[in-house]
Structure 1
Amino acid sequence: MTEQVPGDRTAGLARRLEGVDSTSLADAGPTLRVLPSEIRPLRAGTRIVGTAVPVDSRDDLVPVLVGLRAAGPGDVLVVTGSPGRALAGELFATEALRRGLAGLVIDGLCRDSRTLRASDLPVFARGTSPRAYGATRLPLEDPLVAVDGFEVRPGDLVLADDDGVVLGSPEEVAAAIDGAEEIQRREEALRAAIEAGESLFDHLNLDEHLAALGEGRDSRLRFS
């Protein structure tokens, strides 16, 4: 049976995620889910860390509004839809910010991008459109959604930055966070060493790795 992560520990994991990049987390947790690279930050340099509230938009604004009303501080609304029309805009984002949401991830389009880029709410989407969907469909009861075949579950932890969107259950993130922090520390120290004049190759087992590959032996490229 998988050990459940209590709420206070989940909050602690979210705080630790603030200190790592999506690359470090993905390297430390190869079974974590990485959403499609087409989902990009509307404004470069923004980050999201929070708890997923998944919404199947049904290509309609009503389910998205219902999801927004159910979300609160620290939540990340993860919305699925088709890339035809926008599923959120400036008024939606302003209300999300008022409610304390950590961010918005849309597997689809948004609009009012000029205002959204100036907003303090991080928004990730596949693109923009001036046209919005209608508001005529009821939300589905099933809280699970799928983004490009990857399931998004209520309570998943989300880390999004310029390199992409990574998510996993609190248990999955707990298993990866120590490694992610170690990777982050090691790479920051190595970058500082290279900036100070040391060679990357003094810290890399490239020759040993090449020899092992040439002899057909198992090997891993690694930093010393």
Structure 2
Amino acid sequence: MTFLTTDLCDEHENDVRVLEPMFQRFGACPRFQGQIETLKVFEDNTLVREVLSEPGNGRVLVVDGGGSRRCALVGDQIGELAVKNGWAGIVVYGCIRDSVALNALPLGVRALDTHPRKSVKRGEGQRGLAVTFGGVSLSPGDWLYADEDGVIVADRALL
């Protein structure tokens, strides 16, 4: 990736939304970009696995986990699934686990923190709706850019 979020913010000041700096970096790709697919779940990662089983085509899965820090929504197996199916990255408003294994995968991951407990499997949640966290609304079809300096979102591709 040759972009920098700082440059994109400078060049497209009125077109980007900047998420509050709350995410930790995981995965072997510190920079990633792609069109967004969204999920809204709470302590249940059934839909996360389902969506990442589909072809990613370079997209980024944005998971609104309600900011829960009581369990993880993404682990190494789900990360491997994302890589296998061509997803560029995952942004989790919640926790991940298996951070050492995730850090070895060619995938960009942002999450609030780590947690060793797995989520429940009730099959609950919603897909394809606008989600809001970090002071920003993210909708399916928006474009997300993440690097060492932060995460930004735009209504259209900037590169």
Task: Look up the match of 1:79.
Answer: 63
Higher Rg: 1
Q: Secondary structure at the match of 1:154?
A: coil
Task: Look up the match of 2:10.
Answer: 27
Cα 1:45/1:61, change in 2 over 3 Å? closer
Task: Look up the match of 2:140.
Answer: 154
Cα 1:141/1:114, change in 2 over 3 Å? closer
Task: Look up the match of 2:108.
Answer: 122
Alignment of 1:17-56 (within 5 A): 18-31=1-14, 32-42=16-26, 46-56=30-40
Alignment of 1:1-224 (within 5 A): 18-31=1-14, 32-42=16-26, 46-81=30-65, 82-140=68-126, 143-170=129-156, 173-174=157-158
Structure 1 distance, partners of 2:28, 2:18, is 19
Q: CA shift at 1:169, angstroms?
A: 1.0
Q: Which amino acid aligns with 2:24?
A: R
Task: Look up the match of 1:5.
Answer: none
Structure 1 distance, partners of 2:104, 2:127, is 34
Cα 1:76/1:142, change in 2 over 3 Å? closer
Contact 2:41 2:125 in 1 (8 A): yes
Deviates more, 1:42-51 or 1:153-162: 42-51
Q: What runs of 5+ residues in structure 1 fail to find an aligned partner? A: 1-17, 178-224
- Give the number of the structure whose residues are more often strand, by fraction: 2
Comparing both chains, which one has the higher relative contact order based on Cα–Cα distances under 8 Å and sequence gaps of 6 or more? 2
Q: Deviations over 1:193-212 (max 9, x none)?
A: xxxxxxxxxxxxxxxxxxxx
Q: Percent identity?
A: 32
Structure 2 distance, partners of 1:141, 1:94, is 21
Cα 1:142/1:48, change in 2 over 3 Å? closer
Q: CA shift at 1:118, angstroms?
A: 1.0
Task: Look up the match of 1:217.
Answer: none
- Give the number of the structure whose residues are more often helix, by fraction: 1
Structure 1 distance, partners of 2:37, 2:44, is 17
Q: CA shift at 1:59, angstroms?
A: 2.5
Q: Deviations over 1:166-207 (max 9, x none)?
A: 11111xx55xx6xxxxxxxxxxxxxxxxxxxxxxxxxxxxxx
Q: Which amino acid aligns with 1:25?
A: L
Coordinate RMSD, CA, aligned? 2.0
